[in-house]
């Protein structure tokens, strides 16, 4: 079962024993969004799993001038490709976010491994560097 991470599967099996063995695409996307939220809000060097697990301080990166959004696109894509193996064909694009100037929006397009349909996620980076991922 590739749709959920190990601890999510164990928790769901305890709460819903009859659901074992049934795949649910929405559950997979929800699990990926939760993981990306944690992954992108973890600062590199703060997790024991690996020194490069997580992301650098986006608030600092976004102050780097006009090329900063392109640098952040690259970082987001690289982090997702390395630490979210359920996603393939990851593309990240900076999107101007006119309605709220205090955030930067990055659109993520990818595919769940084994599924040809693309998924679209919205990643909002606040001035404080906090990241919100929406599916």
3-state secondary structure the chain: CCCCCHHHHHHHHHHCHHHCCCCCHHHHHHHHHHHHHHHHHCECCCCCCCCCCCECCHHHHCCCCCCHHHHHHHHHHHHHHHHCCCEEEEEEEEECCCCCCCEEEEEEEEEECCCCCEEEEEEEEECCCCEEEEC
Confidence (pLDDT) at 114 = 85
Query: Which letter, b or e, does each residue of 100-120 get, where b requires 16 or more Cβ atoms within 10 Å of its Cβ?
Result: eeeebbbebebebeeeeeebe
Helix pair angle (25-41, 68-83), 10° resolution: 120
Among 33, 44, 118, 22, residue whose Cα is nearest residue 84: 33
Confidence (pLDDT) at 1 = 39
pLDDT digits (tens, 9 = 90+) for 14-25: 777 666 656 677
pTM of the model: 0.79
Confidence (pLDDT) at 73 = 95
pLDDT digits (tens, 9 = 90+) for 120-132: 999 999 888 899 9
**How confident is the prediction along the chain (135 residues), in pLDDT tens digits per residue?**
366 666 676 776 677 766 665 667 788 899 999 999 999 999 998 988 889 999 998 888 888 788 888 999 999 999 999 999 999 999 999 997 655 667 889 999 999 988 889 999 999 998 888 999 998
Confidence (pLDDT) at 35 = 94
Confidence (pLDDT) at 101 = 67
């Amino acid at each position: 079962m590739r749709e959920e991470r190990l601890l999510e599967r164990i928790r769901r099996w305890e709460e819903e024993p009859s659901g074992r063995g049934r795949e649910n695409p929405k559950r997979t996307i929800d699990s990926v969004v939760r993981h990306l939220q944690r992954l992108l809000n973890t600062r590199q060097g703060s997790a024991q799993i690996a020194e490069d697990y997580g992301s650098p301080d986006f608030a600092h990166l976004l102050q780097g001038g006009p090329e900063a959004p392109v640098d952040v696109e690259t970082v987001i894509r690289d982090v997702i490709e390395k630490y979210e193996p359920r996603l393939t064909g990851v593309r990240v694009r900076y999107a101007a976010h006119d309605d709220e100037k205090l955030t930067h929006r990055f659109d993520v397009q990818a595919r769940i491994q084994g599924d040809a349909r693309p998924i679209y996620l919205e990643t909002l980076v606040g001035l404080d560097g906090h990241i919100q991922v929406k599916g």
